[in-house]
Amino acid sequence: MKKYFIFFFIFLFISGVAYSQDNETIKTIKNRKSVRHFTGDVVSKDDLKKILEAGMCAPTAVNKQPWNFIAVTDRKILDELADKLPSAKMLFQAGAAIIICALPEKAYNNLTEFAIIDCSLAGENILLAVESLGLGGIWTAAYPDNDRMNTVRKILNIPDNIIPLCVMPIGKPTGEDKPKEKFDEKNIHWDKW
Amino acid sequence: MKKYFIFFFIFLFISGVAYSQDNETIKTIKNRKSVRHFTGDVVSKDDLKKILEAGMCAPTAVNKQPWNFIAVTDRKILDELADKLPSAKMLFQAGAAIIICALPEKAYNNLTEFAIIDCSLAGENILLAVESLGLGGIWTAAYPDNDRMNTVRKILNIPDNIIPLCVMPIGKPTGEDKPKEKFDEKNIHWDKW
């Protein structure tokens, strides 16, 4: 009889573990964190291409894909961005940066709103691809701050009609940064507000 | 000698396959598609909770989390949304809808721009979690169209200071919808524009 109880509890334990296990994608979503501490290691162009390919998989309004991406690995440019951008100091230790550029003229109905939303969706894909490859990244905002946008435009030769949405330092994380617990049941309404 | 050649080609083939294999997260990112055709099956509240938990894992400017989510499973409300929203007719066959609500008053510096960006990042997490669970979803825009936002506000009792960003039909896909190939090397600039 005792034996059956033991089997029963082992069964409960195993099914509990199986039930609580997220799939790999949801694990990556939960493990993604804003990484502010990097080892200084370089990021390969192959990894950056994979990451940007993931970015371009995001949906866009009426499939307009109103985006361009600048991938920076040149140490001098990374340091210049770090020097001039108050919120992107971590670029001194990061191995690369991705700058997401929004193109309002290419967006559905030429709307800046759609260019920003579409590029934001690409940005989350980028952050998740980064995490999935064992790298770390963080969104530092340029838009909607005019000074920061102009600083980024100047350093990277970006035309005035293009919006540098964000500067994302990317690199090998030291491991200091951890994901935040942000789930809050109060943010969910069922059926109506 | 011939034997060695065969081994060499088998080695090349295996390493080629290994090289081209994406991790599970990147596979989900690439497999995500805008699903417009649903079987009509219901979506469980457990799945919706998992999906919304993934949404709330997105980064937000200065961790303000300026969002709320409405998860609709009530058939009557889904049909009413489908009836009144020209771009969300697929709700007649979807099992659920998630409406992402942006809260400018909760966003960093009370900026609508950050509320929209933060909620867009949550939206991509939601679409990827949906895909990873074998479900399908699609972003149908409410913002920035005032008529559509007001329609959604009215049906779901959303206060006027809250922005219904999008209405996402979610359900079991029929399988008709496929991911689009959107990678374009011309969208990438190296080091400078």
Residue B19 lies in a domain: no
pLDDT at position A13 = 60
For A46, the 3-state DSSP assignment is: helix
Q: Which two tokens stand for residue A22?
A: 């997220």
Distance from CA of A147 to the nearest CA of B (A): 16
The better pLDDT of the pair A159, B9 is held by A159
Q: Which two tokens stand for residue A80?
A: 């210049």
Residue A112 lies in a domain: yes
Residue B9 lies in a domain: no
Q: Show the domain range for B142.
A: 34-174
The better pLDDT of the pair A21, A34 is held by A34
The minimal CB distance from B32 to the residues A57, A139, A190 is found for A57
**A103 vs B contacts (CB less than 8 Å):** none
- Residue A97, pLDDT above cutoff 90: yes
The minimal CB distance from A193 to the residues B59, B158, B193 is found for B158
CA distance B107 to B165: 14
Instruction: Report, as an integer, the average pLDDT of A110-137.
Output: 98
Q: Are A72 and A164 in contact (CB under 8 A)?
A: no
Q: Which two tokens stand for residue A84?
A: 């001039």
What is the percent of chain A with per-residue pLDDT over 70, rounded to a whole number? Answer: 90
CA distance A91 to A84: 11
Residue B181 lies in a domain: no
In chain B, DSSP assigns E strands to: 67-72, 96-102, 136-137, 140-141, 163-171, 188-190
Residue A152 lies in a domain: yes
Chain centre to alpha carbon of residue B50: 13
Distance from CA of B58 to the nearest CA of A (A): 8
ipTM of the complex: 0.91
Distance from CA of A67 to the nearest CA of B (A): 7
pLDDT at position A190 = 98
Whole-Å CA distances, A151 to A155, A161, B50: 6, 14, 40
Number of domains chain B contains: 1
Residue A130 lies in a domain: yes
Beta bridge partners of B99: B70, B167
Kindly report the CATH number assigned to the domain that includes residue A94: 3.40.109.10
Residue A128 lies in a domain: yes
pLDDT at position A132 = 98
CA distance A3 to B93: 50
B158 with A131: Cβ contact below 8 A:
no
The minimal CB distance from A124 to the residues B45, B125, B192 is found for B125
B116 with A114: Cβ contact below 8 A:
no
CA distance B53 to B126: 8
Residue B130 lies in a domain: yes
pLDDT at position B61 = 98
pLDDT at position B20 = 59
Where chain B has pLDDT below 70, the residues are: 1-2, 5-6, 8-20
φ/ψ (deg, to 5) at B148: -65, -40
| Band of pLDDT at residue A57, cut at 50, 70 and 90 | very high
User: What tens digit of pLDDT does each residue of A10-20 get?
Assistant: 666 655 555 55
Query: Amino acid identity of B172?
Result: K
Chain B: residue nearest A60 by CA? B139
Instruction: Report, as an integer, the average pLDDT of A27-53.
Output: 98
Q: Which two tokens stand for residue B73?
A: 């499973």
User: What tens digit of pLDDT does each residue of B81-95 get?
Assistant: 999 999 999 999 999
Query: Amino acid identity of B92?
Result: F
Instruction: Report, as an integer, the average pLDDT of A115-134.
Output: 98
Query: Amino acid identity of A119?
Result: C
CA distance A167 to A149: 10
The minimal CB distance from B128 to the residues A29, A63, A180 is found for A29
| Band of pLDDT at residue A120, cut at 50, 70 and 90 | very high
Provide the number of CB pairs (under 8 Å) joining chain A to chain B: 212
